Amino acid sequence: MTYNKKSIEDICVKDKKVLVRCDFNVPQDENLNITDETRILGALPTIKYLKEHGAAVILCSHLGRPKGEFNPKYSLAPVAKRLGELLGCEVKMATDVIGESAHAMAASLKSGEIGMIENVRFHKEEEKNDAAFAKELASMAEIYVNDAFGTAHRAHASTAGVANYLPAVCGFLIQKEISIMGKALSDPKRPFVAVLGGAKVSDKIGVINNLLEKVDTIIIGGAMAYTFIKAQGGSIGTSRCEDDKLEYASEMLKKAADKGVRFLLPVDNLAADHFAADATPVVVDSEHIPENMMGLDIGPKTVALYEEAIRDAGTVVWNGPMGVFEFEAFAGGTRSVAAAVANSNAISIIGGGDSAAAVEQLGFADKMTHISTGGGASLEFLEGLELPGIACLQDK
Ligand code: AMP
């Protein structure tokens, strides 16, 4: 899927009311203090641009899972307050989403001013992409901007529905996501290496299948690897495995062979006799995982093999950890792969979710070309699926 969408730079926003869908789904502690403001910081370039170019900016987002009901625990007011501090100006906060307060706030906003409506998921109509709700949201503005990549794979009222009623373009965050990932998929610098890990083959079936059409090398790690090893006839002990995906795994191995794609699986593993942070890691070859042991990380020979494959890559796309990185004893494989990607000269694209968290936690974030802000959305992008929150925007 390649997108060539209009951005806020392609339209005139001066003196226009602009509804901007952001991803302000920030983590909070029990006192509702924001514990990680990365997503707010990520939204700043688009908001600043709109403010500086004379738009009246109406921000909206979801936060948590309020299940269609008003709930102060999920209010966006703390986000509005923090955003105001970061921008050095007032961010007017409405007390509802499409009610009197929101409409009054939107109507009173002057050019260069910023306001925010409440959590769109306070209405169950949001996730149902209800047309009347989308129309109400749209009625407050003259232009719609989507900058919430993390929810772009969802067809909700505020992520896609509103585009039926307003001219719709993307903000800088979405623009960056689609240009970097789009280029990697359509015209990658080669060799193109995909590193896929994590818990389940079933989550990444579409991604593996699509990437096999495009990459030169696929590297598999994490629990996922054991389904492939078993499909090849290996004995995997008590390692996690999806028996109903063995056939699929064989098909993918065959497809890789037919297409001349190098398909790398772990040759050795760090295994343990139980799943726990204090379990003692033992190095075992993939062909000989003892019956009572489970693979919890890639082993040293595999690390060397994967490092070698990543070293000369032109493009690396990485999604999913190589092992149970939450346990220090089994974090080494993920750390080594992160270091290899960071130290290569490749264009490096890190899928959101666990791999993004691992890269941040391990201190390699600033060495990557791009860390996607959306886990599910980036996976669907790599699968080649159409993302409703992007497809609905105007083409250039
Ligand atoms: P995902 O959400 O699919 O990216 O999977 C991430 C999860 O996979 C993490 O919580 C890891 O702990 C887990 N994981 C990775 N490798 C293994 C493994 N060998 N056995 C069990 N779980 C694993």
Residue boundaries of the structural domains of the chain:
8-173, 180-382
- The residues that bridge with 56 in the sheet, in sequence order, are 17
371 lines ligand 1 (CB under 6 A): no
Question: How far apart, in whole angstroms, are the C-alpha atoms of residue 169 and residue 335?
Answer: 38
Q: How far is CA 82 from CA 85, 86, 292, in A?
A: 5, 6, 52
- Going from the Cα of 222 to the center of ligand 1, the distance in angstroms, rounded, reads 6
Cβ–ligand 1 contact at 323 (below 6 Å): yes
Ligand 1 pocket, residue 356 CB under 6 Å: no
Instruction: Give the span between the Cα atoms of 359 and 350, in whole angstroms.
Output: 8
* 200 counts as catalytic: yes
Residue 374 pLDDT: 87
- Residues of the chain with pLDDT > 70, as a percent, come to 100
Flag whether pLDDT at 352 surpasses 80.
no
Read off the pLDDT of residues 250-303 as tens digits, 9 standing for 90 and up: 999 999 999 999 999 999 999 999 999 999 999 999 988 999 999 999 999 999
Q: Which residues contact 362 (CB under 8 A, 6 or more apart)?
A: 334, 335, 338, 339
Which one of the listed residues 39, 154, 214, 335 is annotated catalytic? 39
Two domains, one topology: 8-173 and 180-382: yes
pLDDT bucket at 1, cuts 50 / 70 / 90: low
Kindly name the residue from 81, 200, 311, 367 that is annotated as catalytic.
Answer: 200
Q: Which CATH superfamily is domain 180-382 in?
A: Phosphoglycerate kinase, N-terminal domain (3.40.50.1260)
Distance 35 CA to ligand 1 centre (A): 24
Ligand 1 neighbour 354 (Cβ under 6 A): yes
Cα–Cα distance measured from residue 42 to residue 2, given in angstroms and rounded to the nearest whole number: 23
pLDDT on residue 355 = 84
- Closest residue CA from atom 5 of ligand 1: 198
C-beta 326 within 6 A of ligand 1: yes
Q: Render pLDDT for 208-249 as a digit per residue (tens, 0 to 9).
A: 999 999 999 999 999 999 999 999 999 999 999 999 999 999
- Token representation of residue 254: 């065959």
| Amino acid of residue 260 | G
Catalytic residue of the set 353, 374, 375, 389:
353
Q: What's the mean pLDDT in 72-98?
A: 98
Q: How confident is the model at residue 116 (pLDDT cuts 50, 70, 90)?
A: very high
Question: What class, spelled out in words, does domain 8-173 have in CATH?
Answer: alpha beta
This prediction's pTM? 0.91
Active site residue 240: no
